[in-house]
Amino acid sequence: MKTLLSPKTVLILSLLFLIAGFANAQDNPRPDFDRPPIDEGPQGKRPNLLRILGLTPAQVQQVRRINQERKPLMDMALRRLGQANRALDEAIYSDTFDQALFESRLKDHQSAQAEVARLRFTGEMNIRKILTQDQLARFRELRRQFAPPPQRQRPRPQTVDDKNFIRRNTKVP
Residue 104 lies in a domain: no
Residue 111 lies in a domain: no
Residue 110 lies in a domain: no
CA-to-CA separations, 65 to 41, 49, 152, in angstroms, rounded: 31, 18, 40
Burial status of residue 75 (CB atoms within 10 A of its CB: 0-12, 13-18, 19 or more) = exposed
Residue 58 lies in a domain: yes
Number of domains in the chain: 1
- What DSSP line would sit under 24-56, residue for residue? HH-SS--S-TTSPPPP--TT-PPP-HHHHHT--
Higher pLDDT, 139 or 151: 139
Residue 131 lies in a domain: yes
Residue 93 lies in a domain: no
Residue 66 lies in a domain: yes
Alpha carbon distance 165, 159 (integer Å): 10
Domain around 154: 7-80+117-169
Residue 106 lies in a domain: no
Give tens-digit pLDDT for 65-110: 999 999 999 999 999 999 999 999 999 999 999 999 999 999 999 9
Give tens-digit pLDDT for 29-62: 444 444 444 444 444 555 677 778 899 999 999 9
pTM beyond 0.85: no
